[in-house]
């Protein structure tokens, strides 16, 4: 593995980023907890002092918390509303608890509230007609002073503004760093595969060019005119190699173009058998060369289908060519059937198979399964990418079943309109 140190650095960076975010969030949580406790301590202090200083009750105060925002202070004595308002306002100022609260005094003997009012910090509000919404719902068998802070969460968060802002900025900065990192890795990945691609192209073109060079040297000899058989033979070689090169260039251009422009489909009714026959005829020289055994199975319903014949033909050429390239003694089954109103065309071989870990990358441009010597089997890593694009253009799916040394099956699913 050439990039081991880089990978380790990237993995460590990712881990550090994750840890920083984790610690920052757990700190934030701690600070929130601390502020909640602080809030509670302030309210309890206010209630205790209220009871001892203003109501004149001694002894331990009993305080219930029916919910997070409300408190019930058990009372044995009653107090006038004006005094209570002034007292609570003073105590809140003393404790610097600057948030609105609702107060009510409940008399259990009369089963009603003796008074209710609202305190809004900064405002000298006399809004005693306001009915604290929570107080209504709590009839008890004991008398109590009800105090509730509807804006408690807002108050706590307002005290944490800077913390939250700095956490958000930190997470944003780290997220951007991650995006840059991922981008950098992608670039490296693409550059690596492009390099392999160029190597493969050079290699692919080198052999025909060398053959043509020799042939043209022979054709250049003066005495060649006296040997018509030889002349014909070498002219034939030049011709077939030129055709081969031309075909290769066209295929590469077509595949590269499919990257720039969306594939435009021309859907027609296709005779599936004819389509498969055309493909095998095109690949006949390679089939013979590899001494491949090809079987074709087309179910009755799949004999006539809809799709873009030209593109599907090219996709099949790529799949079958791969089966021929990546099998030692190729036995290939081409089958077509209709399942759930979708045409399923599959190409199955008995070849070298594809290790499971490489399957997710197969359809990426320039991707070739690393097999030691990349020039062993020629290719540009564009075929499957093109096949996927053809299938996508048909709004279909492509699946792969493969096991190492046992063979591979590619299944194209093309929805039928
Ligand atoms: P290539 O030009 O390299 O064949 P493809 O995009 O057609 O590019 O295929 C990508 C890679 O997938 C190939 O390099 C090969 O390793 C693997 N592959 C594709 N088809 C098969 C198959 N039928 N059997 C084994 N491996 C395959």
- Classified as helix, coil or strand, 250 is helix
pLDDT at 375: 45
Question: What average pLDDT does the structure give for the chain?
Answer: 87
- pLDDT value at 300 more than 80: yes
pLDDT at 34: 94
Nearest residue to 278 (alpha-carbon basis) of 236, 252, 246, 310 = 310
Segment 268-296 shows an average pLDDT of 93
Q: Is the pTM for the entire model greater than 0.75?
A: no
Please tell me the distance between residue 369's alpha carbon and the centre of ligand 1 in angstroms. 7
- Going by pLDDT thresholds of 50, 70 and 90, the confidence category of residue 333 is very high
Choice among 168-177, 199-208, 309-318 with the minimum mean pLDDT = 199-208
CB atoms inside a 10 Å sphere around CB 13: 13
Segment 114-136 shows an average pLDDT of 67
Please tell me the distance between residue 276's alpha carbon and the centre of ligand 1 in angstroms. 20
Asked whether the CA dihedral 361, 366, 370, 371 is positive or negative, the reply is positive
From residue 330, alpha-carbon distances to 348, 370, 372 in Å are: 10, 21, 21
Which residues, other chains included, contact 380 with Cβ-Cβ below 8 Å and sequence gap of 6+? 197, 200, 201, 204, 252, 255, 366
pLDDT at 1: 45
Segment 281-296 shows an average pLDDT of 91
Task: Specify the residue with its C-alpha closest to ligand 1, atom 23.
Answer: 323
Closest atom of ligand 1 to CA, residue 347: 23
pLDDT at 136: 58
- pLDDT value at 200 more than 50: yes
Higher pLDDT, 130 or 367: 367
pLDDT at 134: 52
Closest atom of ligand 1 to CA, residue 410: 23
Q: Which of 197, 324, 374, 379 best tests ligand 1's pocket when mutated (most atoms within 8 Å of CB)?
A: 379
Segment 164-187 shows an average pLDDT of 88
Task: Specify the residue with its C-alpha closest to ligand 1, atom 21.
Answer: 322
Please tell me the distance between residue 116's alpha carbon and the centre of ligand 1 in angstroms. 79
pLDDT at 10: 82
Segment 109-113 shows an average pLDDT of 86
Please tell me the distance between residue 18's alpha carbon and the centre of ligand 1 in angstroms. 36
DSSP code string of 347-377 = EE--S----GGGGGGTTSTT-----S-TTSS
- pLDDT value at 66 more than 80: yes
253 phi and psi angles, rounded to 5 deg: -60, -45
pLDDT at 260: 66
From residue 357, alpha-carbon distances to 5, 249, 330, 354, 370 in Å are: 21, 31, 24, 8, 11
Q: Which of 194, 258, 286, 322 best tests ligand 1's pocket when mutated (most atoms within 8 Å of CB)?
A: 322
pLDDT at 276: 96
Segment 49-57 shows an average pLDDT of 86
- pLDDT value at 252 more than 90: no
Rounded to whole angstroms, the Cα distance separating 113 from 73 reads 14
Please tell me the distance between residue 159's alpha carbon and the centre of ligand 1 in angstroms. 60
pLDDT at 3: 66
- Going by pLDDT thresholds of 50, 70 and 90, the confidence category of residue 374 is very low
Residues near ligand 1 (Cβ within 6 A): 318, 322-323, 326, 349, 351-354, 362, 367-369, 379-385, 408
Q: Which of 384, 399, 402 best tests ligand 1's pocket when mutated (most atoms within 8 Å of CB)?
A: 384
Segment 40-46 shows an average pLDDT of 95
Rounded to whole angstroms, the Cα distance separating 236 from 231 reads 8
pLDDT at 94: 93
- pLDDT value at 122 more than 80: no
Please tell me the distance between residue 381's alpha carbon and the centre of ligand 1 in angstroms. 7
Please tell me the distance between residue 405's alpha carbon and the centre of ligand 1 in angstroms. 14
* Contact predicate 334/322, CB 8 Å: no
Nearest residue to 44 (alpha-carbon basis) of 103, 98, 100, 91 = 91
The contacts found for 391-396 with CB under 8 angstroms, 24 or more apart, are 391/315, 393/262, 393/263, 393/264, 393/265, 393/308, 393/311, 394/265, 394/307, 394/308, 394/312, 396/342
Quick one: what percent of the chain has pLDDT higher than 70?
94
DSSP secondary structure letter of residue 107: E
Please tell me the distance between residue 309's alpha carbon and the centre of ligand 1 in angstroms. 23
Please tell me the distance between residue 326's alpha carbon and the centre of ligand 1 in angstroms. 7
Tell me the sheet residues that pair with 335. Answer: 297, 346
DSSP secondary structure letter of residue 412: E
Task: Specify the residue with its C-alpha closest to ligand 1, atom 11.
Answer: 368
Choice among 67-76, 133-142, 145-154, 178-187 with the minimum mean pLDDT = 133-142
Task: Specify the residue with its C-alpha closest to ligand 1, atom 13.
Answer: 368
pLDDT at 372: 47
Give the tens place of pLDDT for each residue, 381-414: 888 988 999 999 999 999 999 999 899 999 999 9
pLDDT at 130: 52
């Amino acid at each position: 593995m050439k990039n081991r140190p880089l990978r380790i650095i990237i993995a460590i960076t990712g881990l550090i980023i994750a840890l920083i975010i984790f610690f920052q969030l757990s700190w934030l949580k701690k600070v929130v907890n601390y502020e909640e406790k602080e809030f509670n301590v302030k309210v309890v202090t206010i209630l205790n002092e209220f009871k001892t200083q203003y109501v004149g009750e001694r002894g331990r105060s009993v305080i219930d918390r029916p919910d997070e925002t409300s408190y019930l202070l058990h009372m044995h004595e009653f107090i006038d509303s004006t005094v209570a308002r002034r007292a609570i306002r003073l105590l809140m100022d003393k404790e610097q608890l600057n948030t609105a609260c609702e107060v009510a005094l409940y008399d259990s003997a009369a089963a009603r509230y003796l008074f209710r009012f609202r305190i809004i910090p900064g405002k000298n509000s006399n809004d005693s007609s306001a009915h604290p919404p929570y107080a209504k719902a709590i009839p008890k068998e004991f008398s109590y002073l009800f105090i509730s802070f509807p804006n408690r969460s807002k108050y706590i968060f307002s005290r944490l503004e800077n913390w939250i802002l700095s956490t958000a900025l930190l997470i944003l900065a780290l997220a951007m760093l991650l995006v840059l990192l991922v981008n950098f890795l992608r670039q490296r990945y693409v550059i690596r595969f492009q390099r392999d691609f160029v190597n493969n192209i050079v290699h692919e073109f080198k052999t025909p060019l060398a053959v043509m060079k020799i042939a043209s040297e022979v054709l250049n000899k003066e005495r060649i005119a006296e040997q018509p058989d030889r002349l014909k033979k070498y002219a034939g070689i030049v011709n077939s190699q030129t055709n081969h090169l031309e075909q290769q260039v066209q295929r590469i251009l077509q595949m590269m173009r499919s990257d720039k422009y969306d594939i435009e489909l021309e859907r027609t009714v296709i005779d599936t058998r004819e389509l498969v026959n055309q493909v095998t005829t095109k690949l006949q020289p390679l089939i013979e060369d590899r001494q491949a055994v090809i079987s074709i199975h087309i179910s009755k319903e799949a004999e006539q289908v809809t799709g873009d014949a030209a593109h599907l033909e090219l996709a099949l050429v790529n799949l079958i060519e791969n089966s021929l390239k990546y099998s030692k003694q190729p036995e290939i089954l081409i089958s077509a059937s209709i399942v759930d109103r979708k045409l399923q065309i599959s190409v199955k071989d008995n070849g070298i198979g594809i290790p499971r870990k490489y399957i997710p990358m197969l359809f990426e441009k320039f991707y070739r399964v690393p097999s030691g010597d990349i020039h062993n089997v020629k290719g540009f890593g564009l075929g499957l990418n093109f096949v996927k694009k053809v299938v996508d253009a048909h709004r279909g799916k492509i699946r792969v079943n493969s096991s190492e040394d046992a063979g591979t099956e590619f299944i194209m699913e093309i929805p039928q309109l």
